[in-house]
A and B are shown apart, each in its own frame.
Chain A
Amino acid sequence: MAKKAQDPALLESGGVSRRGFIKGAGAVSGALAVTSVTGAPAAHAAKKTVNITTWMGFEPGRKEAWASIAAKFNAQSTTTEVKITGWPFASYVNQVLTGLEAGTLTDDLIMSTPDLAIRLFKSGYFLPLTEPIKAAAVTPNPQIHAYLTDAAGLIYGVSVVTVNFGLLYNSDLFTKAGLKPATTPEELLATATKLTKKPNQYGFWHPNIMAEQGDFWFNLQNWVNMYDGVWAVGKTPKANSPEVVKSLELWLKLYNASIPKGLNNAAATTLAANGRVAQGFWVSAAVNVLKSTNPKVYAKLRSVPLPHASHKAASRVHPISLNKLGKNKANAVEFLDWLFKPANMADLTMQCLDFIPPFPEMNAVPAFQKYLKNLPWIAGFLTPPSVPITPMDMMGDFITKSDEFGTIVLTNFQAAINNKTTVKAAMDKAQTQLVALAAKL
């Protein structure tokens, strides 16, 4: 676990200080007398607190990045204090949806995954970001933000993290085995198989457990790009189309040959950080985790575009939005005005080890240009030849019900994983259930 910066915002988000500990004890004993414990901070009386609900506070690397951005903002604002709150990724979508439904999630700023963002946008939980976009004088990239733009052209979320998939590999293991990273699906299977020496070393990593369904699904979602498939077109699911079936068959071969089975993400990351995983289709977020967990392995990481003809890779846009149920909207806007300034956004992006700018103005920031030149592992993620597409392009109208879609696909796919049936038969069954789901769109 990486060096801990000793700044107060970080201690808020993840660590614990003696002061925090005593404060906690006080709150608990206070709760004996008062029926309601809200945990509202007593300090910063003059400043209004704006909570940012995100899962970033739980990811190594990014946690530090967000804490430092928050501290930087807090230091210069006299009216607003931002705080990072939220839940780990695995339970994030659930928590946000139930919290909004029950009216208990009143934090002003909410970060979302692409699927969650569109669901909340369509349900009317977001407010347009016209003011901060204007204040920062930026023009959000329409390709990334199309799905959060309404008919009038108002934008309801600006990406703070856009990640895409690349084939990330441990160059050390490849060199030792005398192999080169794959450029076709068949080569991928071959290299992964050659680099597997179970249980010491695994040739490939892909999430595969139902207890962490969210990760399993967003990774598998991207997988159909291997043979140029999509999951749905409009309201028509394509789960049993030849492209999807062929992609999943390849996945299954890889799974049996080279993927550590039944590992949770934490254990797999540990495995990778110990140099025992050769490669994976990772989003750049994973790089940051590996960097913080094991700098030695980080130094060996390299990337190439996804190994198939089209080089299509899902880009995942994670926007920040204004919550309609928020309490301190003016203060939240003040933070966004600041955050959207190209220099600040570039700072956040660089600290997060991300590289896709939400608006072209960021490309002009000199530090950012320099940063891009100096990242050894970045080649495979950058366009071209990597072709970014969004989950919306793969999911059609089902994007608002992506979780349900994923549950159906994964549940049926597992019959094939367990060798009870063929991939085709499993996907035929999924297709029938997905057609039923289409009725609810």
Chain B
Amino acid sequence: MNVVIGSKRTMLVRSIFRYSIITFVCLLVIFPLYWMLVTAIQPPDISLQYPPVLYPKAANLHGFQQLFQDNPMARWLLNSGFVAALTTLITTSFSILGAYAISWFKWRGKFVFGMMLLFTQMLPEALIVIPIYKMYSQIHFANNLPALSLIHAAFVIPVGVWILRPAFESIPKEVSEAAQIDGCDYFALLRKIIIPLCSPAILAVGVVAFFASWGDYLMAVTMISKQDLYPASVGLASTMSQLDTPIQELLSGALIYGLPPVILYMFIQKFIISGLTAGAIKG
């Protein structure tokens, strides 16, 4: 693919250089995760040794065992999964509708709507978490998981619309015209043509929504104050400040809580990148 001018020697030097940089970057990125794994499977007295050892000298699963024994960890993970799934559902469906309106129709107020989305997307939630909490407690929505996912959705939907819009716009005119001739109405067009053709982008929206919700700490810690309703982020943060949580248990928690999104992401990273790139190119 490349025309390289130069001797074999310089090529070799270059490729060694490149590989060493790549290795360095990878090590940098992976080291914290590796260290988490080592600490999670290693008895704490080894982890606490000085000087630290770089590889696990002994391994056991006590950390995981204790994690589930000492805390309602399974329940916390379920709570997180539930909130994230609901957020994903709301976000994808609302974003599809919104993106459809923006990309396929001419209407007054589109600019204002777009501006509102952009503003919401940039808005740090921390700035308005207190008024949201006050409102939620007044209408008895605090300590309510579905209500929490509504907040999550409200803040990811702009990203969703933003990812979907260019994908929707890229559907060729001919396709839609053909569909119209076949007698498709607007919803049939959306259902039969747009959604199937844009499924990678829609998937990307779903994943982004899932991450945002699974990873949220601020909203959850403010809205949810009952231990059995904690999502995993809040639950883990609470074990962090407990005096007796052994380091092995804590990092086992980080591992279990952090892994699902990573695995999920690795499976579908290609879709996400193309979905995001579609967004990226049109901005």
Contacts and interface: CB of A to CB of B under 8 A. Distances in A.
A and B touch in the complex (CB under 8 A): yes
29 contacts: A1-B66, A16-B71, A20-B75, A24-B228, A28-B75, A28-B78, A28-B145, A32-B86, A32-B146, A39-B228, A58-B238, A88-B241, A91-B221, A98-B133, A98-B222, A99-B225, A103-B138, A104-B137, A104-B225, A199-B50, A265-B241, A265-B243, A266-B245, A269-B243, A270-B48, A274-B45, A274-B48, A289-B243, A292-B244
Contacts of A175: none
Contacts of B142: 102, 104
Interface in A43-88: 58-60, 85, 87-88
A15 B249 CA distance: 14
Which of under 10, 10 to 19, 20 to 34, or 35 or more describes the interface residues of A? 35 or more
Nearest to B81: A28
A25 interface: yes
Interface residues of B, number: 46
B44 A270 contact: yes
Given A1-B246, A24-B228, 9 more contacts: A16-B71, A28-B145, A31-B146, A35-B144, A37-B145, A87-B238, A266-B243, A266-B244, A274-B48
B227 A85 contact: yes
Nearest to B223: A104
Contacts of B50: 199-200
A29 B225 CA distance: 20
Nearest to B222: A98
Contact of B243 (A21, A59, A98, A104): A59
A31 B244 contact: no
A21 B145 contact: no
Contacts of A274: 45, 48
Given A39-B229, A102-B133, A16 B69 contact: yes
B215 interface: no
Contacts of A32: 82, 86, 146
B244 A90 contact: no
A14 to B, nearest CB: 6
Contacts of A267: 247
Interface in A86-102: 87-91, 95, 98-99, 102
B241 A95 contact: no
Nearest to B69: A15
Given A16-B69, A270-B48, A24 B78 contact: yes
Contact of A28 (B79, B221, B247): B79
Contacts, number: 127
A15 B241 contact: no
B74 interface: yes
B72 A21 contact: yes
Nearest to B86: A32
Contacts of A24: 72, 74-75, 78-79, 228
A39 B97 CA distance: 34
A266 B253 CA distance: 15
A404 B143 CA distance: 28
Which 6 residue pairs of A and B lie closest in terms of their CB atoms, listed nearest first? A102-B137, A24-B75, A90-B241, A60-B244, A16-B72, A88-B241
Contact of B226 (A28, A29, A39): A39
A264 B250 CA distance: 13
Contacts of B73: 16
Contacts of A104: 137, 142-143, 225
B134 A37 contact: no
Contact of B225 (A38, A95, A292): A95
Nearest to B250: A266
A212 interface: yes
Contacts of A105: 225
Interface string B134-172: 100110101111110000000000000000000000000
Contacts of B241: 88-91, 212, 264-266
Contact of A38 (B137, B143, B242): B143
A99 B142 CA distance: 10
A271 interface: yes
Contacts of B250: 266
A16 B238 contact: no
Contacts of A1: 66, 70, 244, 246, 249
A208 interface: no
Given A104-B137, A269-B244, A37 B229 contact: yes
